[in-house]
Amino acid sequence: MKPIIKIENVSKQYRLGTIGTGTLSHDLNRWWSKMRGKGDPILKIGEINDRANKGNSEYVWALRNINFEVMPGEVVGIIGKNGAGKSTLLKILSKVTGPTTGSIQYDGRIGSLLEVGTGFHPELTGRENIFLNGAILGMSKSEIRSKLDEIVDFSGCERYIDTPVKRYSSGMKVRLGFAVAAHLEPEILVVDEVLAVGDAEFQKKAIGKMQDVSRNDGRTVLFVSHSMGAIQSLCSRSVILDAGGVKFDGDVKEGIEIYLNDGNKGLNGSDLSTYTDRKGHLKGKLIDLSVGYEYQNKVVLDSKKIPIGSNLIIRSKIDNISAEVRKFDFSIIITDRYGVRVTCVSNEFTKKELILEKGVNEFEYKVFNLSLLPDIYYFRIWMKDQYGVMDVIDDVMEIEVVESNILGSTALPNSKLHGYVLFQQEQNKIS
């Protein structure tokens, strides 16, 4: 069978802080080298795209010698840490930008959903943008009109469909953008992480639609996501990008395990005062997080191995940088290794007010009779006050729930086959 996408030696170079190669002298230098048959001098310089290090060159390779093929009907999950080149690859596939070197061969139309609002004209209404996107895909007015009601209904934006898109929220833009990309029948559907902007109900709906178009319609999907749960449920193949190159191409489960075991998840929770990969206005921010457990009046602190059935203890230190005394909400979202939310610890459940006073504030949370099955879990911290979201840190800590005899749980069956939670159980024959 002929591949629907063939990517050969694709590389993409950027010059930091500029558009294109930056200056007329650079462009003239490249032209003169080409005229003399000496090749492009820009391709001989540059460093890999490592966002954590300053580097010595003003040129970086966002992608370097990417090679792989996609067969018709495949659903390929593209994963990798921030800066690995995922979005750059999708932009090249979607023809938003061109490769510096290499080529891509297509056999069909491409529908793309990249950054929020990409492909929309802000001054046009939602309805007009549907027709505009359809025309770009090469569809006739009658073809687009036949899909219009279905697109509007799926997006849930019927009330605002004749309102200019510039008035839409980011979530509404994503809803309409995905509905357009999925329903105008491109042979190839390219979806970036933007689905994370939508609410949980729409994410579920969108993933269901992608499964439908791939399984029932035989269309090809390229899907970028940091949610390993979504990748596992949707994709038939995974490609891991690392520092602009292909690190792995193959089975989804194997790819996810390689990605998760590659140091991409789980800070140690301590010394977070200088940590920068966080979101919020940061008038107050988490500077330390520690965990331990309690059982039969025995307290063990600073242990990331928590016996099932014990009381989980979580201690946090929050620096009130603004020095303003105020109320706030604090939540610890617990996820599995695939990023699927398992449960949440929050003062919204305890119904207790939390007050931030001047300086460093310390709080303790206790989860009684922890019933999570033995496995690896991750904490996501989320805080807000009257000014909005204050501090959010993903994968701030990794813990391991281990077997114990507290709940009679020694030698448990494989937890991956039995869900997340263990209840105390009893079984009797009554007749």
Would you list the domain boundaries of the chain? 5-260, 284-417
* pLDDT for residue 48: 54
Confidence (pLDDT) at 171: 77
Please tell me the distance from the alpha carbon of residue 13 to that of residue 288, in angstroms, as a whole number. 39
> Does residue 184 come out as left (phi exceeding 0), alpha (psi in the -120 to 50 range) or beta?
alpha
The 10s digit of each residue's pLDDT in 404-413 is 776 655 545 5
What pTM was computed for the model? Answer: 0.63
How far does the chain reach from its first CA to its final CA, in angstroms? 61
Point out the least confidently predicted range of 4-8, 160-164, 416-420: 416-420
Residues counted in the chain: 431
- The lowest-confidence range among 131-140, 242-251, 416-425 is 416-425
DSSP, residue by residue, 188-243: EEEE-GGGGGS-HHHHHHHHHHHHHHHHTS--EEEEE-S-HHHHHHH-SEEEEEET
pLDDT at 16: 62
pLDDT of residue 113: 72
Per residue in 194-234, pLDDT tens? 666 556 677 777 778 877 877 777 888 888 887 777 788 88
Q: What are 146-155's pLDDT values in tens digits?
A: 888 988 888 8
The CATH number given to 5-260 is 3.40.50.300
Predicted confidence band at 175 (pLDDT cuts at 50, 70, 90)?
confident
Is residue 286's pLDDT more than 90? yes
What CA–CA distance (Å, rounded) separates 127 from 158? 9
User: What architecture does CATH give domain 284-417?
Assistant: Distorted Sandwich (2.70)
Nearest to 181 by CA among 243, 246, 109, 229: 109
pLDDT for 415 equals 47
pLDDT of residue 47: 46
- pLDDT per residue as tens digits for the range 87-117: 888 888 888 888 888 889 988 888 777 765 5
State the pLDDT at residue 177.
Answer: 81
SS3 of 245, please? strand
